[in-house]
Amino acid sequence: MGDKRYGGRIRWAVRIELILLLALGCVAVSRELTGKWKDSAWQGSVDQWASQTGEAVEVSAEGNYIKWVDFNVTCEALGAAYDLDAESYGQDVHLDWIELLAYVGATTGGKFDKGSTAKINAVAEKLKNGETTMDELTEDMEYYDYYLEAYSAVLGGMVGEFSMKEDGKWQRYYGLKAFSPIAKGFEYSHYDDFGSSRSYGYSRPHLGHDMMGQIGTPVVAVESGVVEALGWNQYGGWRIGIRSFDGKRYYYYAHLRQNYPYAEGLEEGSVVTAGDVIGYMGHTGYSTKENVNNIEVVHLHWGLQLIFDESQKEGNNEIWIDCYELTKFLYRNRSEAAKVEGGKEWRRTLEMADPEVEKHCKKDISMVQ
C-alpha cells in the first residue's frame, strides 16, 4: 500500500513538472514570435516564484498581467523623485518621478536604501543636461518595464494638474494631488505593521497600514475615485472601498466610527475628490453583528490593493502593498477640515478640482446618452 502511494506521488510530481515545462515552452515560443516580452514575465526569478508560490506574471486570454509586487520604495526616495518631477514641470526636460523610481528599482532589484536618493539625483542630472534619455538608459535594462508598470500602478494617480479654490478664485497647480488619509491637525501614531499576524476568524497576515488616533478623526480620500464598497464587514467593521479611475488601485479604509462612520451622502457609486472627508476613525469590527466595537485600539486601517486584471480583485491572487513609507511621504500633503456647526460632520476647507474627476463624470454622461 505504501509503495502504491509513493508511486502515485512520483507520477503526480512528474505531471506537475511536465506541465510547468510546457507552460514555460509556450511562453518562450510566444517571445520568439512577437519579438517582445514584458520584462515582468521574468521579474519573479526562481526564488521569488518559490516564496510567492507562483510567477510574477500571469498569462491569460487577455495577455500578460503582473501577479506580484513588492513595493519597497522609501519615503526619502519618493520625496526626491517627486521634487525633481514638480520642479521640472514646464521645462524642456520634464522628469517623470515614476520613471526615475523605476530606473533605480531596475538597477537594484527593487531595493531602496540611503544611497537611493543619490542615484535618483545622478540620473536626473544626466537627463536634465541632455546627456541621455530615459529610453536610451533603459533600452537594454532587463527589468525596467516591469518596475515602470508596477510603480505606475501604485503611484499613477498621485501627481498631476489640479486646481484649488483660494479666496474665491480658482488657482491652477501641478504637483502632489494625493493626500494623507488623516486630516490635517489630527495627530496619530504608526509603525510598519504590514504582514504582522492577525488571528480573528483565521490566521492571516495584516495587509494594510494602521494609524492610531482618536475616535471621530476625519478620514480623507487619498486619491480621487469611485466608492465601490461601503457598509459592514466582520473583519473591517464599517469600511469604505474606493477604486481609482484607471482601475489599478483599490483603497480600503476600515474600522470606522460606531453610529457615525461615513460622511453625509456617501454611498456606493459616489465620486470623491482626493482630500474629501469620507468617514471617521473608530474601532468597529471583528464581529458578524453590525455596529460593534470589538477592536481594542482606536485606529484607521487603510490598505492599497493593486489590480492588473479583474480576476485579482477578490480571492487568492490579491496584491496588497506595504503603505508605511507611502504614508510618511503623503504626510507632506494633508487636507485641512473644519467641523460643520451643530453636528458631527467635518468638511474640507479648501475645494479642489481634479481634472480626472471631470473626465470620469463626462465619460459617465456620454455613456448614458
Examine the domain organization and report whether 221 and 358 are in the same domain.
Answer: yes
Examine the domain organization and report whether 241 and 139 are in the same domain.
Answer: no
pLDDT for res 30: 32
Examine the domain organization and report whether 255 and 323 are in the same domain.
Answer: yes
State which residues form the domain around 290.
197-368
- What does the CA dihedral 342, 346, 351, 357 come to, rounded to 10 degrees? -130
pLDDT for res 267: 98
Residue 297, domain CATH: 2.70.70.10
Q: How far apart are the first and last CA of the chain?
A: 69
- Please say which residue of 155, 177, 211 terminates a domain: 155
Separation of alpha carbons 262 and 244, rounded Å: 19
Determine, yes or no, domain membership for 191.
no
Examine the domain organization and report whether 272 and 141 are in the same domain.
Answer: no
Segment 10-34 shows an average pLDDT of 38
Count of the separate structural domains present in the chain? 2
Q: Residue 230 in contact with residue 267, Cβ under 8 Å?
A: yes
- In this prediction the pTM is 0.83
Examine the domain organization and report whether 228 and 129 are in the same domain.
Answer: no
Cα–Cα separations (whole angstroms), residue 27 to 30, 33, 57, 64, 310? 5, 10, 11, 10, 22
Examine the domain organization and report whether 108 and 220 are in the same domain.
Answer: no
- Please say which residue of 103, 129, 155 terminates a domain: 155
- Please say which residue of 104, 132, 155 terminates a domain: 155
DSSP assignment letter at 282: B
Chain segment 214-263, per-residue pLDDT in tens: 999 999 999 999 999 999 999 999 999 999 999 999 999 999 999 999 99
Chain segment 79-91, per-residue pLDDT in tens: 999 999 999 999 9
